């Protein structure tokens, strides 16, 4: 497969006018609308958490697809801490990736619902007793009832359509909405018009597929979908530590949102870096190149969160969410 610079790139606008929406989008969005309205009347802050990897199908009758490593741990764990902090959560995740609460149990895809049933019916089967480990957890789950709304995606196309539609719905909450983009989204895709209808045959020797670039959606998300009011947190994953800060700064500079959380693939469970604007450093949308921010840039603030990698009782998401809740509160109050 080639990912050459010459492959055509889509703007967000051309993407949505040429790639079809997923089946079920309207129904999903009707559910989100109701959820957001309910939270708006209760005065809660709402966070959209995206989680897990996206697939890129190679055929219309899909036999093969590209995928990535993300298990959805970051997203599912973060959603739990947001719920505990009193947020309502729209959890938009890759089908069968980890989910809040049920992430502790690998044998069921949605025991969260089982937990809620336990609460309402007051029955407890032996299997459900095994799943519930502590009263503290039961109480988190109980209070999450009604404040957690889940949506699933599989392909990068599902993800992009859902993200745009959910962001637009959530934008009615203005500053009380946070967008926490932890999903690992493919940078390349095969437009529908270029896909083979049937299974790609192997008779012709090696396989050459030219993929197009997935549109950069953060800019329209900041400017249009969320009406410039949302508190937008994106993630940047690198495997070369030296690129982490310059790439995170470039992203903030390019898209003008609030925070980029940088994480290294092998250190992500115990170390992340927050890159944000220093007070009074207005974001500009002037495009810059990565090398221009390689030197220390005084417009950006850099702060690290680290936990003991050997402490199995501590999750870094607890500290990430505590920090974000504080910063979001300041943003709501005009900071
Ligand atoms: O899902 P996970 O816990 O295994 O990994 C989390 C992560 C590394 C995908 C996330 O923290 C992240 O960096 N997401 C953005 C990836 C990117 O597109 O750069």
pLDDT in tens, 168-223: 999 999 999 999 999 999 999 999 999 999 999 988 789 899 999 999 999 999 99
Question: Ligand 1, atom 9: nearest CA belongs to which residue?
Answer: 184
Report the nearest atom of ligand 1 relative to the CA of 73: 3
**Cα 150 to Cα 60, 75, 91, 102, 201, distances in angstroms:** 27, 12, 5, 13, 38
| Ligand 1 pocket at CB < 6 A | 70-74, 182, 184-185, 235-237, 263, 268
pLDDT at 130: 39
Highest CATH level, class, for 1-224: alpha beta
Q: In the chain, which ranges are E strands?
A: 46-51, 56-57, 65-66, 88-94, 148-153, 177-181, 188-189, 212-213, 231-238, 259-264, 271-277, 300-306
User: Which of 3.40.920.10, 3.40.50.10300, 3.30.720.210, 3.40.640.10 would CATH assign to domain 230-335?
Assistant: 3.40.50.10300
Task: Provide, rounded to the nearest whole percent, the portion of the chain with pLDDT above 90.
Answer: 75
Does the model's ipTM exceed the 0.85 cut?
Answer: yes
Q: What is the DSSP string of 182-227?
A: --B--SEE--GGGSBSSPPPSTTSS---BPEEPP--HHHIIIIITT
96-105, 121-130, 152-161, 284-293 — which is least confidently predicted?
121-130
The C-alpha atoms of residue 79 and residue 147 are separated, in whole angstroms, by 11
182 alpha carbon – ligand 1 mean position (Å): 5
Task: List where CATH 3.40.50.10300 sits in the chain.
Answer: 1-224, 230-335
How large is the average pLDDT for residues 81-88? 96
pLDDT at 123: 32
Does residue 48 sit in helix, strand or coil?
strand
Statement: residue 286 has pLDDT above 60: no
Does residue 88 sit in helix, strand or coil?
strand
pLDDT at 102: 82
Higher pLDDT, 110 or 330: 330
Task: Work out the pLDDT band at 114, boundaries 50, 70, 90.
Answer: very low
173 alpha carbon – ligand 1 mean position (Å): 26
Contact 265, 249 (CB under 8 A): no
């Amino acid at each position: 497969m080639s990912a050459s610079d010459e492959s055509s790139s889509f703007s967000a606008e051309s993407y949505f006018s040429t790639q079809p929406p997923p089946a079920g989008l309207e129904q999903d969005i009707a559910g989100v609308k109701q959820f957001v309205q309910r939270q708006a009347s209760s005065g809660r802050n709402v966070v959209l958490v995206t989680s897990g990897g996206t697939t890129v199908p190679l055929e219309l009758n899909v036999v093969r697809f590209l995928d990535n490593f993300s298990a959805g741990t970051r997203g599912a764990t973060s959603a739990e801490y947001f719920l505990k902090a009193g947020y309502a959560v729209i959890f938009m995740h890759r089908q069968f990736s980890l989910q809040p609460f049920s992430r502790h149990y690998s044998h069921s895809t949605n025991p969260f619902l089982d937990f809620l049933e336990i609460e309402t019916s007051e029955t407890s089967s032996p299997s459900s007793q095994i799943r519930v480990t502590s009263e503290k957890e039961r109480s988190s789950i109980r209070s999450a009832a009604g404040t957690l709304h889940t949506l699933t995606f599989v392909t990068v196309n599902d993800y992009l359509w859902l993200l745009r539609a959910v962001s637009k719905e959530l934008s009615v909450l203005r500053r009380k909405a946070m967008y926490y983009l932890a999903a690992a989204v493919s940078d390349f895709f095969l437009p529908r018009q270029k896909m083979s209808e049937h299974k790609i045959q192997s008779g012709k020797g090696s396989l050459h597929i030219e993929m197009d670039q997935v549109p950069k959606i953060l800019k329209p998300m900041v400017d249009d979908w969320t009406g410039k009011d949302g508190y937008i947190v994106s993630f940047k994953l690198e495997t070369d530590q030296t690129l982490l800060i310059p790439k995170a700064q470039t992203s903030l500079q390019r898209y003008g949102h609030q925070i980029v959380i940088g994480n290294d693939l092998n250190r992500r469970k115990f170390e992340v870096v927050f890159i944000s604007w220093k007070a009074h450093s207005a974001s500009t949308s002037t495009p810059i190149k990565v090398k221009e921010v390689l030197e220390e840039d005084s417009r950006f603030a850099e702060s690290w969160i680290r936990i003991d990698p050997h402490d199995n009782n501590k999750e870094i998401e607890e500290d990430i969410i505590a920090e974000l809740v504080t910063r979001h509160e300041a943003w709501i109050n005009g900071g």
